[in-house]
């Protein structure tokens, strides 16, 4: 064999410069990719990035709210579980949208006692015990529970039962989340009884978003108390609608309705616009 071939120096290309970046700089770059980006692509680039992606501090904030997500894809539930595991109890801010159910929510809350902010956006499969969130996450200061199922009132013949079911989420929040500062109940079936309970049970509440909560009547003393105490968000325009012969006030954006719309002899159970 030719000795020159044996002793020939083989030029090895230097490692990419981004591999030699300081740990904190790399972590900052990876966090900009988002939770899904880190789990599906970034951690596979190299050993260094894999190690950084395992750092619990990168998973203190988890956001799965991409509008491209599908509620029918189980992969987001799997990714969310993985992200929560990687946080090792350090999770403080979580947002999920369009996916997840009661089992996932239980998995999250049992492992996230330091959670301070939780946003559930259009998670229709989450129907379980909301109280568990408050009890498992006593440091929770901000809670958003948007676009949940609307229970049709005509299912209940008993007014007491109807009131109870209408305010289930509100009663659960009032019992288990005393440290809340910010609450968003967008498009919920909540009545004045539920709002009263929240005001009593959440004395530190600073802001309340109740847009499209059509069963609330804030024209009287309750509305005055809310406006004095809270930064309250609700649609300012009201529309009278007919429900079983009774007039109810429903908060609604009139600009989205045709000008010749006639509600005479019409029963409206729900108006919800996204």
- Which one has a higher pLDDT value, 144 or 263? 144
- Considering the domain boundaries, does residue 139 fall inside one? yes
Question: The domain that contains 189 carries what CATH number?
Answer: 3.80.10.10
Q: Quick one: 159 and 190 in the same domain?
A: yes
Q: Quick one: 74 and 42 in the same domain?
A: no
- CA 116 centroid distance within chain: 12
Q: Look at residue 231 and give its three-state secondary structure.
A: strand
- Burial (CB count <10 Å: 0-12, 13-18, 19+), residue 46: middle
Residues spanned by the domain of 46: 14-54
- Considering the domain boundaries, does residue 273 fall inside one? no
Residues 60-85, mean pLDDT to the nearest whole number: 85
Q: Quick one: 69 and 45 in the same domain?
A: no
Q: Quick one: 33 and 156 in the same domain?
A: no
CA distance 105 to 128: 9
CA distance 271 to 25: 48
* pLDDT at residue number 57: 94
pLDDT over 90 (residue 127): no
- Burial (CB count <10 Å: 0-12, 13-18, 19+), residue 71: middle
Per-residue pLDDT of 179-194, as tens digits, reads 999 999 988 878 899 9
Query: Where residue 228 falls among pLDDT bands split at 50, 70, 90?
Result: confident
Q: Quick one: 32 and 86 in the same domain?
A: no
Average pLDDT, the chain: 77
CA distance 78 to 270: 34
- Considering the domain boundaries, does residue 4 fall inside one? no
Range 270-273, long-range pairs (CB < 8 A, 24+ positions): 270/150, 270/152, 270/214, 271/214, 271/241, 272/150, 272/187, 272/212, 273/212
* pLDDT at residue number 250: 38
Q: Quick one: 96 and 222 in the same domain?
A: yes
Q: Quick one: 155 and 186 in the same domain?
A: yes
Q: Quick one: 25 and 147 in the same domain?
A: no
pLDDT over 60 (residue 8): no
Q: Quick one: 139 and 84 in the same domain?
A: yes
Query: Where residue 220 falls among pLDDT bands split at 50, 70, 90?
Result: confident
- Considering the domain boundaries, does residue 256 fall inside one? no
- Beginning with the edge strand found earlier in the chain, give each strand of the sheet holding 207-209 in spatial order: 61-64, 93-97, 117-121, 142-146, 182-184, 207-209, 231-233
Q: Look at residue 256 and give its three-state secondary structure.
A: helix
- Considering the domain boundaries, does residue 217 fall inside one? yes
CA distance 97 to 123: 6
* pLDDT at residue number 72: 55
pLDDT > 90 in the chain, percent = 39
CA distance 240 to 247: 6
Q: Quick one: 195 and 150 in the same domain?
A: yes
- Considering the domain boundaries, does residue 274 fall inside one? no
- Burial (CB count <10 Å: 0-12, 13-18, 19+), residue 205: buried
* DSSP strand pairing (142-146 vs 182-184): parallel
- Considering the domain boundaries, does residue 225 fall inside one? yes
Query: Where residue 248 falls among pLDDT bands split at 50, 70, 90?
Result: very low
Count of the separate structural domains present in the chain = 2
- Which one has a higher pLDDT value, 253 or 67? 67
Q: Quick one: 22 and 109 in the same domain?
A: no
Most confident of 4-8, 30-34, 164-168, 252-256: 30-34
- DSSP 8-state assignment for residue 118: E
Query: Where residue 268 falls among pLDDT bands split at 50, 70, 90?
Result: very low
Helix boundaries (H) for 93-242 = 102-110, 131-136, 159-166, 168-176, 192-201, 221-229
Q: Quick one: 29 and 138 in the same domain?
A: no
Residue 30's contacts (CB-CB under 8 Å, 6 or more residues apart) are 37, 38, 42, 49, 52, 53, 58
* pLDDT at residue number 162: 55
The torsion angles phi and psi of 198, rounded to 5 degrees, stand at -65, -45
- Considering the domain boundaries, does residue 6 fall inside one? no
* pLDDT at residue number 161: 52
């Amino acid at each position: 064999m030719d000795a020159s071939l044996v002793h020939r120096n083989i030029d090895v290309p230097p490692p990419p410069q981004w591999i030699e970046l300081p740990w904190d700089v790399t972590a900052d770059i990876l966090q900009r990719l988002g939770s899904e980006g880190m789990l599906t692509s970034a951690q596979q680039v190299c050993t260094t990035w894999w190690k950084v992606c395992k750092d619990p501090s990168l998973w203190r904030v988890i956001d799965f709210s991409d509008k491209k997500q599908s509620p029918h894809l189980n992969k987001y539930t799997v990714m969310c579980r993985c992200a929560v595991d990687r946080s090792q109890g350090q999770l403080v801010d979580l947002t999920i949208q369009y996916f997840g159910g009661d089992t996932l929510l239980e998995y999250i809350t049992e492992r996230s006692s330091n959670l301070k902010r939780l946003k559930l956006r259009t998670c229709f499969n989450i129907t379980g015990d909301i109280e568990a969130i408050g009890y498992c996450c006593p440091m929770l200061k901000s809670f958003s529970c948007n676009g949940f199922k609307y229970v049709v009132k005509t299912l209940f013949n008993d007014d007491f039962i109807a009131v109870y079911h209408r305010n289930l989420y509100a009663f659960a929040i009032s019992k288990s989340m005393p440290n809340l500062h910010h609450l968003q109940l967008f498009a919920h079936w909540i009545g004045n009884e539920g709002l009263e309970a929240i005001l009593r049970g959440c004395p530190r509440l600073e802001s309340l978003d109740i847009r499209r909560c059509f069963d609330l009547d804030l024209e009287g003393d309750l509305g005055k108390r809310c406006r004095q105490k809270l930064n309250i968000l609700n649609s300012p325009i009201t529309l009278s609608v007919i429900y079983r012969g009774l007039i109810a006030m429903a908060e609604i954006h009139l600009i989205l309705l045709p000008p010749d719309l006639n509600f005479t002899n019409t029963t409206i159970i729900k108006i919800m616009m996204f």
